[in-house]
A = this chain, B = another copy of it.
C-alpha cells in the first residue's frame, strides 16, 4: 500500500516520436490529443481521452491518456497524467515557475470536476478543449459536480480557456467508444459495460 507507478502505454512512444518537435497551432495540438484518445481505445489501454502539455513554442512537454481501468486508478485521467508527467519532466510542481512561463493543457474533452480542480494547482496558463463535457455525459460518464461558470473560475485565476477546437472530431471519438461498447468507469452503481478497457 506504499507506492505506485504510472507508465504510459508503450504505443505512445512511437506516436510521440513521429510528431514534429513543434506543434505550430492549436489545431495541431488538438489533433494530437484526439489521436491519443482514439488510439487509447483501439489499443485497449484506457478510456477515450487524450491530452498534452505544451510550452509557449508548441513543444510537447508531456502527453497523457486515460489510464483509469488499465492502471486501476481513478485519478489517472488524461489531463492528470499529462500534468504529472510534465511536472516530472520539468522538475517542478508549478509548471509556470512562479508565473514566469506559459504552458497549455490541450485536452480532447473538457475537464471533469477533478481535472478542473487540478488545473489551478498545476501552473498551466491556458486550457484548450475539444469536445464539450456534455458529450462525455451523453455517452454515460459522470463528469462530476462542476461550477456552472467553470471557465470564468479559471480565467479569474489567470488561466485562459479555449473551447470547441476540432469539436466534431473530438466528439466522434467519444461516440466511437460508446458504439464499440467501451466501459463507463463511473464508481458504484454508475458503472456500465464490460470490466475491461
Which residues in A have some Cβ–Cβ distance to B below 8 Å?
1-8, 12-13, 61-63, 68-69, 71-75, 80, 83-89, 91-96, 98-99, 112-118, 120-123, 125, 142, 144-147, 150, 153-154, 156-158, 185-189, 191
Given that A94-B187, A189-B98 are known contacts, is A89 also in contact with B13, CB under 8 Å in the complex? no
Given that A87-B72, A118-B114, A121-B74 are known contacts, is A94 also in contact with B188, CB under 8 Å in the complex? yes
A72 to B94, CA, bound (A): 8
Quick check: B5 and A5 within 8 Å, CB to CB?
A: yes
Quick check: A8 and B3 within 8 Å, CB to CB?
A: yes
A61 to B7, CA, bound (A): 23
- When distances are taken between beta carbons in the complex, the residues of chain B under 8 Å from A1 are 61-63, 85-86, 88-89
Quick check: A80 and B75 within 8 Å, CB to CB?
A: yes
A46 nearest CB across to chain B (Å): 11
Quick check: A112 and B117 within 8 Å, CB to CB?
A: yes
